[in-house]
Structure 1
Amino acid sequence: MKSDRLVAILLMLQRRGQVTAAEVAAELEVSERTARRDLDALGIAGIPIYSVRGRTGGWRLLGGGRTDLSGLTAGEARALFLVAGSAAAETPEVQHALRKLVRALPETFREQAEAAAASQIVDPNPWGRDGAQALPPRFLEVVQDAVIRGVQVRLGYVDRAGSASERVVHPLGLVSKGSRWYLVAGTDHGQRTFRLDRVSAVQLSDDPVHRPDTFDLAEQWRAIREEAGRRGTLIDVHARCAPDGLSYLRTAVGDNLEIGAAASDGRIPVVIHAPSAYGIAGHLAGLVEWLDIERPQSVRDHLAEIGRALTSRYRARPGWAARS
């Protein structure tokens, strides 16, 4: 992306003082022609950049590379990597650009910039019908700071039942899911997830976070999301499906399906995860030709009720054939 390259060039100028088109091309893995165009684009955009001709020439920023524009503060560098890092998990191109940007950062900023890039992810799909929040959570910035700096916090929290508590946690990462923000943190009872809009107070400490060597925020969030899906599932329907009906079953229930190995009679054992007995019975009623529900009995009972209702309504009645 051109914008990534332009930021990288600015940071290279800050770090080195002077660059050549060849150095830019090698660093950013583009042609020298593209590098020159990018350098010209910075000047056209009003960046105080100028060229020095001759064997020892190159491109420089006015002020010896110490201008406010090129000299990002630590906070600005962190903000840049927070934004870019959110997309990096899903976009290899952004990951590639981030690596280049890190190499161009002043040495003192690199550690926190890398921490910022890995500190949060964005999951754009909301939970169910979760509505939009007008404002970010009150303590988002201070929690971001704790995650990036790697320090423990004393967290005030109000749970779903309205019970207030206070605890010391080890912030490991932040997730934005739809309109909600979540903190993934270590506690005395293992890793926990906290909704930021339920946080009532945050007090930073100077004690370092104990971060597991194998911790990966994206992998951890995937596990949290799957566990949340399982908790939202109220019943498991055990059944046997004829092979030629399996594709219809997949269409009916989507990913909420586990498929076993075919039995000696050719039928395939399946487990269907469902939110309610009545709801799943309605989905499966049209598959009775291929599907034999074994348990729970509540689903079998609902299917029988659906069958009786269908028979009552659509049974042929005297005189219908004559009128048709």
Structure 2
Amino acid sequence: MRADRLVATLLLLQARGRVTATEVAAELAVSERTARRDLEALATAGIPVYPQRGRGGGWALVGGARTDPVGLTVGEIRELFLVPGVPGVADVPGVPGVPDEGATPHLRALERAVVDGSQVRLGYERPGGAADERIVHPLGLATKAGVRYLVASTGAAGGPGALRIFRLSRVTSVEPTGDPAVRPEGFDLAVAWRSLASTAEERTRAATVRGRAERGAEAALRALFPGRLRLGRPLAHGWMTFEADGPSPQALAAQLAGLGARIEILAPREARDHLARLAAELAALYGPPAAPRAG
């Protein structure tokens, strides 16, 4: 477990006073990259660990201080299990979000579940769908662009391939089951987050629509498709071409529907047909009432 490694790294620091990533890697039988990431995670957690540069450098406790792992504060223990702040993890591209979404009502309950290693019954609302419940094994929390995600296993044994990420703003309830969570063997939160975030990014780019838009609609298009929009050449009469990526032609058409006549989808056909159906439904619901028949 990663927390075991972090505590072992801290004990090694205390025993030797100063260590290098190479020494930690050899002692704990991990890669040098993993050892360096663990040392950085200790510093991020608020433990007084700092790097020393130059010849004879390495990592040491500030002023030779000692920290009793058993006496770590709740906040320090929590940080050992959380991804935010681990260099390179919070910057995984393609997981868009908005700031200030971290203070969700279920954050503390999920932090406790991660630290305590306990399963929870998670209520979760999918985009455009009703909330459902499932038993999950919380493994850690990650942040991207101010948006928090839970990394969890949904498999009964917590095995590989059952890892999922859940956006905390869509969590509707958290109920501890009293059963221990199972961590996959060799699980590394930072590595798992990168893999899951990459998979999520691929899903958001599964389809592409091509169309034309009025000049001046650039800001609205960029807001709809952050990092997934390509503006093209200008056309006659104040139009321009564009391409946008999304999970499906239908989802892209639904997003673009709000721009009305400022855009026209040119391809694929599925997106045009879906937009036409949406327009017909809206016209039937909000259009003027039919005139009464004469006499």
TM-score range, shorter chain: 0.3 to 0.5
Structure having greater relative contact order (Cα 8 Å, sep ≥ 6): 2
- For normalisation by structure 1, the TM-score amounts to 0.41
Structure 1 or 2, whichever has the larger Rg, is: 1
Higher share of residues assigned helix: 1
